[in-house]
Amino acid sequence: MSNLEILAVIVNVLGVWLTARRTPWCWPVGVVAVLLYVWIFYDVKLYSDMLLQVLFAGLQGYGWWRWRTGRLAQGKVRIEPLPARVALLSLVAGAVLSVLLGTAMAHFTDAAVPWLDATLTGYSLVASYWAARKFVANWWLWIALDAVYTGLYYYKELPLTAVLYAGFIVLAVYGLRAWQRDLAQQPREAAQQAVA
């Protein structure tokens, strides 16, 4: 456990908490968090995860842009259910990316666990896309991914990061419940705004 890992954990917790609260500032905080983890994952040879963090930095900008549009009156973003077609297409894209990245990592690098790392990376991109698009289902996918990540980081002797990802499960459950509740309230809020 390094000071860098401690700092990365603190910034990540802040970012996920802000996401669960539907505050657009979660995205710039997320940029700092993912850049810290680029170095950490390089050191433990989780190259797909390292690449994922670089991609996350770009997705943070996309997420921030998406969340700055479609806001409700009280300053929170408007969330949506995940359309079945989007779910299917993005899950297939995650599978294809996982296979391509896993093949590359297994054949061209000394990655510690190339296939698992690649699969987690592929589906983390899907979950991030869903979060940026404000789909409630992003939390379900994050819960599943974070459970596997917790085990992976424990295996790779990153105990604080494993605890962080176990905590992410708790935060994801909180986010899921909050977003489901808020989604149910959105039609009433829209009706009240139309009357006002």
Expressed as residue numbers, the domain containing 29 is 3-76+83-195
> In the prediction, which pLDDT does 73 show?
55
The number of folded domains in the chain is 1
d(CA 22, CA 44): 32
Considering only 42-51, 64-73, 122-131, which range has the smallest mean pLDDT? 64-73
d(CA 95, CA 115): 11
What's the predicted TM-score (pTM) here?
0.81
Considering only 79-83, 180-184, 192-196, which range has the smallest mean pLDDT? 192-196
> In the prediction, which pLDDT does 20 show?
78
At residue 172 the predicted structure's pLDDT band, cuts being 50, 70 and 90, is very high
Pick from 153, 127, 119: nearest CA to 19: 127
